[in-house]
Structure 1
């Protein structure tokens, strides 16, 4: 799958990003993929390529471009527990500076850019994300109900904005939660809020998982859960987006 480096115009400058898309030309449904807090790195490129293989044009922006281009900090090839703590100590100021106002402004710019690409077909798009990226995907879907037809978020704090935010979503939704992130009781409360909002969704705890289970370069990785993620994500996109 081709990978193209991008610079996306935003209200605060240009966000570095990359796109993965199918070989052979043509136009394809657009997907905005938000990285986890560790940001753009080889595992994100692999996941974007895999999604592109199924017929989608996938854009992955550097969430923290205001602090510089990715990689913002040097990451080890494998992020174990000890490395995770040290990395997050450096990332946390950037995460805290990424306010909701900034996130929504960026979402406007990312979707505007994505839908303007000549390789992207007309019609609705999808947003997906991991960890903090899942929260950003949820906020993007809520802010663009007429444009976002599918939302998927994995090991993400999707309920922190409250039921009013969920009520703004018109996309079909899948939330895949880590067992260590959400109790069954909290899952029940979240799903009740989704029911009350009239959202079409699946929302489930992936068995035997810890936070970060999709990321193969971390000690949280769970291969079975990553496959479950694809088994939920791909049919969702197939139902809601039109290829060709």
Structure 2
């Protein structure tokens, strides 16, 4: 399916949020996926991932996850300076601001004549956390969360009682967790903690642990696992085709 893309700047409670929209060229209405990036924002690998999803018949929105903290259009490099800046942004932005960003994206989708109005969420790294976090909103019917950081550790700023781990029971849609067994950012103990919470809350979830390192989806760098990435795209497309 041939796709197109364009940028749009959405009003949020914390300022303008540049969002890139990838969607089929063919006329019609399509379900939407909010695709949350790593701390580096919309890098070339993130753009390629969004394009892959869109080519399967989805409207894919890639927001700048730290729009309040950077000039519009900021993309951080995959180097130490980029990592340090991205992590600093991650620890500065409250989860409540991510929630209002998600609501702005939902409102946008509901207004577009090329969208059916149904939404899912997907993300990698902190984006996996944000896809999980988005699923707290009842408009998100499904979430595909790849090596989601900081859920188990409760290290992201939030108001008392509003951290993502404790609010798992609020998820109404279907959520898929994908973890790398060799990922030091979410060690075995962290994965076990999240799994036990899934069981305790009785949410609708699927759980998968694979032999891979952190960022195995990123098609730049030595940690990339192309064969595994193809499998993940197929699983995500299957999930969203079924639920949206």
Offset from partner CA, 1:162-191 (integer Å, 9 cap, x none): 653111111111111122244455434422
What TM-score, normalized to structure 1?
Answer: 0.87
Q: CA deviation at 1:15?
A: 0.6
Deviation at 1:54, TM superposition (A): 0.9
Preserved contact between residue 42 and residue 75 of structure 2 (Cα < 8 Å): no
| Equivalent in the alignment of 1:165 | 167
Deviation, structure 1 residue 109 = 1.1
Instruction: State the alpha-carbon separation in 1 of the partners of residues 134 and 209 from structure 2.
Output: 23
Structure scoring higher RCO (CA < 8 A, sep ≥ 6) equals: 1
State TM-score, norm by structure 2.
0.87
The equivalent residue for 2:105 is 110
Which residue number corresponds to residue 128 of structure 1? 122
Counterpart CA distance in 2 for 1:185 and 1:94 is: 26
Match of 1:11 in 2: 13
Find the aligned partners of 2:104 and 2:122 in 1 and give their Cα distance: 16
Q: CA deviation at 1:203?
A: 1.4
| Alpha-carbon distance in 2 for matches of 1:240, 1:95 | 30
1:25-40 equivalence runs, <5 A: 25-40=27-42
Shift, 1:102, TM fit: 1.2
Contact 1:127–1:151 (CA under 8 A) maintained in structure 2: yes
The structure richer in strand per residue is 2
Report the counterpart of residue 241 of structure 2 in structure 1. 238
Distance change >3 Å, CA 135–CA 2, structure 1 → 2: same
Is the CA contact (8 Å cut-off) linking 2:43 and 2:75 kept in structure 1? no
Distance of 2:122 and 2:225 partners within structure 1: 19
Which of 30, 41, 44 is matched with 2:43 structurally? 41
How far apart, CA to CA, are the structure 2 residues paired with 1:109 and 1:71?
A: 20
Could you tell me which of 217, 221, 244 is aligned with 1:218?
221
CA distance in 1, matches of 2:142, 2:148: 16
Residue 148 of structure 2 is aligned to residue 156 of structure 1: yes
* Equivalences, count: 229
Take 1:103 and 1:93, find their aligned partners in 2: how far apart are those partners?
15
Output the CA distance in 2 between the equivalents of 1:93 and 1:34: 17
**Unpaired segments of 5 or more residues in structure 1?**
none
d(CA) in 2 for partners of 1:188, 1:72: 33
Q: Which residues of structure 2 form unaligned runs of 5+?
A: 155-162
When the two chains are superposed, the root-mean-square deviation of aligned CA atoms in Å is 1.8
Deviation string 1:54-113 (CA, Å, 9 cap, x unpaired) is 11001000111112112244x2xxx4xxx2x33212222222221112111211112111
Instruction: Tell me the secondary structure at the aligned position of residue 167 of structure 2.
Output: helix
1:220 deviates by: 2.1
